[in-house]
Amino acid sequence: MSIQLSDHFTFGRLFRFCLPSVVMMVFTSVYGVVDGFFVSNWAGKTAFSAINLIYPFIAILGGVGFMLGAGGSALVGKTLGQGDRDRANRCFSMLVAATAIAGAALSALGIVLLEPIARALGATEGMLADCVIYGRIILAFNTCFMLQNLFMTFLTTAQRPQLGLGCTVAAGVINMALDALFVAVFRWGILGAALATGLSQAVGGLLPLLYFLRPNDSLLRLTRPRLELAALLQACGNGASELMSNISGPLVSMLYNFQLMRLAGENGVAAYGVLMYVGFIFVAIFIGYTIGTAPIVSYHYGAEDRGEVRNILKKSLVTMALTGLAMAALAWTCAGLIARVFVGYDETLRAMTRHAFHIVCFHYLFAGVNIFASSFFTALNNGAVSALISFLRTLVFQMAMGVLLPIWLGLEGVWWAWVGAEAGAFVISLTFLLAKRRKYGH
């Protein structure tokens, strides 16, 4: 029997419903890591550093898809819980159209600005050409990337998380196969990596679009889009925290890359790149879980079932805490192996990467609760609190730690900044969960 949003969720039912979203996000992260693996080992350290330097700018543009997906699914999920399926489909269709239009505009803007942006981020003359080639090819597929981000959440809201997983696996297999062919066999270097990623994003964005365009038996389907400005603004407000995360993360990466270039040169940027790639996989587990639980929270909030909202919150906090502990232990244990796989060709870089992992791993103890808390308030259609948690966690604390700790600790301060920022955000997350418990009955 399929699991419905309206069900009561035990631990087992919750895990089964969220598992496709978790696997989907992990797989998305894995095929991003494969890009880094092939470029680092077949194109070299300079090309690998160039990707890590320019990717934050690309991620900022793609973050609009996450905003509309997370914020829109909260609105649509609540509307479904209220029993108004026609309005839910109208809002969904409008958000898909808005994402496609925004994607085309941002792609054009990004391609024009890419070279001056790369210079502003500190690209050396040796890195500049790689930054521009990689960035322009990826941005040519940005609309598909934004649609892929949008559909990740809406397929779960439509009670079709398995379809989201299937599309992601198809995109991932294509990306990894093309990486091997273009980078390792044809030796196209950074050009091949960019083409592999772009073509996989086209698959991930267009397959769900075709599904929703055709008659289907899910909770959602596409209809003729019509602008509903109030709903669009509400979706943007609800998803502000996700946009903040996608903007803040790249901005923080730019700061950290600047600090690392100053303190350790290309080795520092390359080591940071490995941390980021592997961190994507670990954090993807948290994000996948929140993608799975958010529609449940929104639905029961719309249905005014406070008991089930409280049930999801309690089970999720336990899950996030235990998962964070397991991740920290795993990252510590596997630090040497991870460093050897990515940068084993350079002993100095390998040792730096291994040491950095032994510090950064402690931030996983707090990250899961922080990510869930922000998503929880998005699902309750409280975009302000969600955005504030995300803003403090991903930008304010990260920037403050990234500036101050290196003054006192040098290179070590860059690694400890991750831990300090998540610990500060953990206090904020718990404070808001306690402060809002009466308003939402959780």
Distances (CA, A) of 4 to 140, 192, 305: 38, 42, 15
pLDDT along the chain (442 residues), means of 10: 78 88 80 74 79 79 78 84 88 92 91 88 81 91 89 86 85 88 88 90 92 87 86 80 70 80 80 81 89 87 87 94 94 89 80 90 94 89 84 88 90 91 94 86 68
CA–CA separation, 103 vs 65, rounded Å?
8
- Report CA Rg, the chain: 21
**Beta strand ranges found along 123-178 (DSSP E):** none
Q: How much is the pLDDT for 319?
A: 95
pLDDT tens per residue, range 128-177:
888 899 999 999 999 998 898 889 888 888 888 888 888 888 888 898 89
CA–CA separation, 142 vs 147, rounded Å?
9
Q: How much is the pLDDT for 269?
A: 77
CA–CA separation, 287 vs 380, rounded Å?
17
**Chain centroid to CA 246: how far?**
7
How many Cβ atoms sit within 10 Å of the Cβ of residue 84?
14
Nearest of 31, 46, 395, 44 to residue 187 by alpha carbon: 44
CA–CA separation, 116 vs 335, rounded Å?
36
Give buried/exposed letters for 118-135 (b at 16+ CB in 10 A, else e): beebebeeebbebbbbbb
Structure tokens at 3: 């699991």
Q: How much is the pLDDT for 100?
A: 92
Structure tokens at 92: 């969904």
Q: How much is the pLDDT for 29?
A: 75
pLDDT tens per residue, range 117-141:
888 877 778 788 888 999 999 999 9
* 314-320 CB contacts, 8 Å cutoff, 24+ apart: 315/9, 315/11, 315/14, 316/14, 316/289, 316/372, 316/376, 317/369, 317/372, 319/11, 319/14, 319/289, 319/368, 320/286, 320/289, 320/368, 320/369, 320/371, 320/372
Q: How much is the pLDDT for 442?
A: 66
Coil, strand or helix at 44: coil
How many Cβ atoms sit within 10 Å of the Cβ of residue 384?
12
**Region label for 305, one of left (φ > 0), alpha (ψ between -120 and 50) or beta (otherwise):** beta
Please identify which residue in the block is written with the tokens 């390359």: 270
Q: How much is the pLDDT for 73?
A: 83
CA–CA separation, 350 vs 113, rounded Å?
34
Single-letter code of the amino acid located at 268? G
Q: How much is the pLDDT for 381?
A: 81
Q: How much is the pLDDT for 423?
A: 95
**Torsions phi, psi for 239 (to 5 deg):** -90, 10
Q: How much is the pLDDT for 105?
A: 93
DSSP string, 297-349: HHHHHHTT-HHHHHHHHHHHHHHHHHHHHHHHHHHHHHHHHHHHHHHTT-HHH
CB 338 within 8 A of CB 280: no
350 Cβ neighbours under 8 A, 6+ residues apart: 339, 340, 343, 344
CB 54 within 8 A of CB 194: no
